[in-house]
């Protein structure tokens, strides 16, 4: 009788472990992150309407050593060479891509990508 109880517990624990792994695998494979666009801007040149002047992505390239006056502006509305209504704060758990297609941050929990070409 005691032996049957042990095998039942072992089967139950094994099944619970398998179900847990399946749930974790499924959740991690989901792309439940926000897609955010970013523009490299001159942070020292804020225009009277609150917009920033957009510059080439190379100025914000971390691999090349970004210049202090330049930074990424996330989720803004771009009009010509200006962007506004966004933020300089990097959103968490988002896939961030520059307008030129450079991946700045991959989606998911704390995922970070390189910003370069």
Q: Is 70 exposed, middle or buried (0-12, 13-18, 19+ CB in 10 A)?
A: buried
CA dist 43 and 73 (Å) reads: 9
Q: Is 63 exposed, middle or buried (0-12, 13-18, 19+ CB in 10 A)?
A: exposed
pLDDT digits (tens, 9 = 90+) for 18-56: 666 555 555 555 556 678 889 999 999 899 999 999 999
pLDDT digits (tens, 9 = 90+) for 64-110: 555 678 999 999 999 999 999 998 888 888 888 888 888 887 765 44
pLDDT of 34 reads: 76
Q: Is 115 helix (H, G, I), strand (E, B) or coil?
A: coil
CA dist 90 and 36 (Å) reads: 10
CA dist 79 and 25 (Å) reads: 41
pLDDT digits (tens, 9 = 90+) for 48-59: 999 999 999 888
pLDDT of 117 reads: 35
């Amino acid at each position: 009788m005691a032996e049957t109880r042990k095998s039942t517990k072992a089967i139950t624990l094994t099944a619970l472990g398998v179900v847990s792994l399946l749930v974790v695998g499924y959740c991690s494979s989901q792309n439940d992150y926000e897609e955010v666009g970013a523009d490299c801007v001159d942070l020292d040149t804020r225009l009277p309407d609150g917009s920033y002047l957009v510059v080439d992505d190379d100025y914000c390239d971390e691999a090349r050593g970004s210049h202090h006056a330049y930074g990424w502006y996330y989720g803004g509305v771009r009009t010509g060479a200006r962007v506004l209504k966004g933020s300089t704060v990097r959103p968490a758990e988002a896939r961030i891509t520059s307008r030129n297609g450079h991946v700045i941050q991959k989606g998911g929990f704390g995922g970070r990508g390189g910003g370069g070409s």
